[in-house]
Amino acid sequence: MPARPEQPSLRAVLASPKMLAIMALAAASGFPNQITESALQAWLKDSGATNTTIGVMSYVALPYLLKFLWAPFIDRYPLPLLGRRRGWILAMQAAIAVAIALFALQNPALSLFPVTVCAVAIVFFSATQDIAFDAYRTDVSTPSERGPAAAATNLGYRTSAWLASAFALIVAQYFGWRPAFLILAGVMLLFCLVTIFAPEPEHHTQPPRSLSDSVATPLKELLAGPGAAALLVVVVLFKVGDAFAMKLFTPFMMDTGFSKAEIALIVKTLFTAGALVGSILGGILMVRLGLLRSMLIFGVSQAVSNLLYCVLAATGKSYGIMVAAVAIEHVAGAMGNIALVALIMALCDVRYSAFQYALLSSIALLPRYSLGYPAGWVADHGGWFVYYIVSFIIALPGLAVVWLMRSRIHALDHERA
């Protein structure tokens, strides 16, 4: 294995203005997410909608999963302002602000159609902002900055999404939904200032010559490199054990004896805090460890930490065990997510990073959205102890592929520097 070249100091990486810009842009990216999820669900509930209706309305989020379909357009056609990526980010932020303001003028008790149209518009513009932001982060980050950039993204995104949701619910409780959404629209518009002052990538690349080139060429690039198929398998399998473990997390906690209020106030707080701590820790450690060692260490940690839930399943309701299991597992899971995001960034070519990142991130989400039935079947037929043993076992193939591809993953740390 070739020697790892000298890396910049941790302080130099973390002090980079790019990290602050990435965190702020990630906050802009996460801000609309819960407006069309938890806030919309609460708004519909207040209007008297049935749970079935609320469930059907959740499908307005589909553009987040399908964004790779129009990502090539973002690669091919830069807007005539603020560079190849920031122009799209700025345009989408303004569009999201307008859509949220229009959202505030609707009344779901009178008609759901205009509410649905506004919600889909918010999600579509938000997904497009995600495409441009993910490409910007990939373009602007050097190999030594990928871990901190992934951590900054997680911190900004999660914190902003949580704050937007909490703000909407609190303002709606005391002043109504219209002022809540109008204020959120104003805050979204303020994010445009972040985009205007964010730094441009040091190396500028030309967009693809045609729209077909922005699809065919990046696909060929992804599949042509050494071990390309195996690296795609890593993207799919690296988080599969973690995705399985979290698929029925709330029912598991309820069956263990925790009330819905305890889950909301205690468990979810630990959930978020652990993820934020794991993001910071993972980003810092990646600077020291590099991509390969991070994937191995973080991958083993997130697999083993799932076994803590076996202890909780065996003992029943225990605050001490629950706190330890949830905190440790979510720290480890967030660190694993940092490593996976860094791998995806490393696989992207800056010429096609919008499409390639959108496609790879969709592939990485496949386990999360496809494990519902097998997860439920294992829980019903094997019980929760077996369920979390299975979550550990199915994490092992992803680790095995990482080990088999160790030379190629190590090399990615030094490519496209």
According to DSSP, residue 77 is labeled -
For residues 67 and 28, state if they share a domain: yes
- Convert the pLDDT of each residue in 177-219 to its tens digit: 899 999 999 999 999 999 998 888 776 667 767 777 777 777 7
| Beta carbons within 10 angstroms of residue 96's beta carbon | 27
For residues 18 and 81, state if they share a domain: yes
Among the listed residues 21, 36, 29, the one whose alpha carbon sits nearest the alpha carbon of residue 160: 29
How many domains does the chain divide into?
2
Residue numbers of the domain that contains 376: 210-417
For residues 193 and 241, state if they share a domain: no
Q: How far apart are CA 228 and CA 221, in angstroms?
A: 9
Q: Vertex 298, ends 293 and 303: CA angle to 5°?
A: 130
CB-hemisphere CA count at 13 Å for 351? 16
**pTM, rounded to two decimals:** 0.69
Query: Hey, what are 199's tokens?
Result: 């730094």
DSSP reduced 3-state for 4: coil
For residues 49 and 85, state if they share a domain: yes
Query: Hey, what are 152's tokens?
Result: 């900054």
For residues 307 and 285, state if they share a domain: yes
The predicted structure's pLDDT at residue 10: 53
Q: Indicate whether 2 belongs to any domain.
A: no
For residues 383 and 361, state if they share a domain: yes
Query: Hey, what are 104's tokens?
Result: 């505030």
For residues 333 and 192, state if they share a domain: no
State the burial class of residue 160 (Cβ atoms within 10 Å of its Cβ: 0-12, 13-18, 19+): buried
Question: Tell me, what CATH number does 196's domain have?
Answer: 1.20.1250.20
Distance between first and last Cα of the chain: 18
CB-hemisphere CA count at 13 Å for 316? 1
Q: Indicate whether 3 belongs to any domain.
A: no
Of 207, 225, 243, the one marking the end of a domain is: 207
**HEC assignment per residue over 349-374:** CHHHHHHHHHHHHHHHCHHHHHCHHH
Q: How far apart are CA 26 and CA 305, in angstroms?
A: 27
Q: Indicate whether 1 belongs to any domain.
A: no
The predicted structure's pLDDT at residue 369: 65
Of 207, 229, 245, the one marking the end of a domain is: 207
DSSP reduced 3-state for 7: coil
pLDDT in tens, the chain (417 residues): 444 445 555 555 556 778 888 889 999 998 998 788 777 877 887 788 776 677 677 778 788 878 888 888 887 788 888 877 899 999 999 999 999 999 889 888 888 899 999 999 999 999 999 989 988 888 887 777 777 787 788 788 878 887 887 788 788 878 888 999 999 999 999 999 999 988 887 766 677 677 777 777 777 877 776 678 888 888 889 988 988 888 777 678 778 887 766 765 676 677 778 888 888 888 888 878 888 899 999 999 999 999 999 999 999 888 899 889 988 998 998 899 888 988 888 887 777 777 788 788 888 877 776 776 787 788 888 888 999 999 999 999 999 999 998 888 888 876 544
- Cβ–Cβ under 8 Å, residues 137 and 337: no
Q: How far apart are CA 100 and CA 123, in angstroms?
A: 10
Of 155, 188, 207, the one marking the end of a domain is: 207
The predicted structure's pLDDT at residue 403: 93
Query: At a CB cut-off of 8 Å and minimum separation 6, what does 269 contact?
Result: none
Q: How far is CA 252 from CA 258, 351, 383, 411, in A?
A: 9, 44, 10, 41
Q: How far apart are CA 363 and CA 237, in angstroms?
A: 10
- Cβ–Cβ under 8 Å, residues 369 and 224: no
- Cβ–Cβ under 8 Å, residues 34 and 61: no
